[in-house]
Amino acid sequence: MWRRLVPVLLFAAVPIWAQVFPNSINRSLTTLRIDVVFVTGGSATSGVRVQLMQGLATATPVDVTMTNSSGSAEFRNLISGDYRVEVSGDGIETTQSSVIHIEDGRVFESKMVAVRRSGGASPSDSKGGLGNLVSVSELNVPKEASRELARGDIEMQNSNWKRAVEHFSKAASIYPQYASAYYNLSAAYLRLGKPDAQRDALQKALKINEKFVPALVSMAHLELADHKPEQARPLLDSAVTADPTNVEALALRVRVAFLQGQDQQAVADAQKVHEMRHSGYATVHYTAAAAFQRMNRIPEMLAQLQLFLQEDPNNQLADYVRKTIAEAQGQSH
């Protein structure tokens, strides 16, 4: 009888601002946040397309995503180098950012991209001309609160977590409906190793905006850290409903489904992740393989393990997986 896949190491995802994966060769990978705003004032809403490109002379497309309800988009697991983003969508002019340089060792970088409205989009349109509901509270943020958020972002970029907490807390005190301030505050508390304070900040962000996808995903991470997949599942369901293209939410739901014995769901979500750009999430294939093994569908299990090795050959589980494949194939002859 050949080996069972180890369930304890199924999916080692880490919340944003703390992502270091085995295939990074001990280098910190960077999360880049893009905040899309209008030159006439106010943030964009959800549904704006943001494409990430790498390089200076020749810009190579790397990834693409959509903004959330706060007009922000995130790209994770980036190595150091030079990048640009191109912002486009209904009701706005296609805009390319200036060069965004990511230094080695930086875990978080942010960039604001100002865009102009196009066509018949009216500045007073409550949907921003983008056809998506806007978080009204984020459109009414006082300038001083926005400045404090920006100051906190700078401190985060320099790993000054305590100072970041001060600025984010001040931003929230100036404008208590500032969901982004509470979310950033939770990220700073994460780096300071204060899970209770992190949870409190996330709860406040979600009380303001229950569809705030990054906060939903971060809260799900906390629930899983407390071994409560049943608490994480509805959070991830809400996140995926609000943003079906959110790879982190889907990948995390793969793990939760497996832990809850829902193998078909785990496999289905793993397939959705595979159909998207999912650098850093190769372990969804390991989880899917374990689900197929539990269903005694060995050919599909082996196919998932092969995908895992193709996408992350230097993962800490790679040697174990190679031995598992060799044993399984040996017994099939």
Q: Which DSSP string do the residues of 216-238 spell out, in sequence order?
A: HHHHHHHHHHTT-HHHHHHHHHH
State how far the Cα of 38 lies from the Cα of 139, in Å rounded to an integer. Answer: 11
> At residue 15, does pLDDT exceed 50?
no
Is 187 contained in some domain?
yes
Is 126 found in the same domain as 203?
no
Residues 47 and 93 placed together within one structural domain of the fold: yes
Name the residue with higher pLDDT: 238 or 80: 238
Enter the DSSP assignment of 56. S
Q: How many separate domains does the chain show?
A: 2
**Domain end point (choices 189, 208, 227):** 208
Give the whole-angstrom CA distance, residue 82 versus residue 103.
9
Domain boundary among the residues 208, 228, 245 is at 208
Judgement on whether residues 193 and 61 belong to the same structural domain of the protein: no
Helix (H) or strand (E) holding 186: helix 179-191
Sign of CA dihedral 132, 51, 104, 285: positive
Range of the domain at 96: 7-135+209-331
Which pLDDT band, with edges at 50, 70 and 90, does 176 fall under? very high
Phi, psi of 35 (to 5 degrees): -105, 115
Q: Which residue, of 155, 174, 208, is where some domain finishes? A: 208
143, 105: one domain: no
Q: What is the CATH number of the domain that holds 319?
A: 1.25.40.10
In a domain, 2, yes or no: no
pLDDT at position 120, please?
Answer: 47
Which has more confidence, 56 or 52? 52
| Statement to judge: residues 284 and 166 lie in one domain | no
- With tokens 């969508």, the residue in question is 89
- Give the sign of the dihedral formed by CA 228, CA 231, CA 233, CA 238: negative
| Higher-confidence position of 175 and 58 | 175
Q: What is the mean pLDDT of residues 173-181?
A: 92
Structural tokens at position 128: 């921003």
Mean pLDDT of the chain: 81
Take residue 112 and report the two structure tokens written for it.
């604001």
pLDDT for 193-203, tens place per residue?
999 999 999 99
pLDDT at 234 over 50: yes
1 within some domain: no
Instruction: Tell me if residue 161 falls in helix, strand or coil.
Output: helix
* 82 vs 69: CA distance, rounded Å: 27
Which H or E run includes 52?
strand 49-54
Flag whether pLDDT at 145 surpasses 60: yes
Phi and psi, residue 74, nearest 5°: -125, 140
What's the chain's Rg over C-alpha atoms? 21
Q: Answer yes or no: do 288 and 316 share one domain.
A: yes
Residue pLDDT, tens place only, 31-45: 898 988 887 777 787
- 123 with 253, same domain: the answer is yes
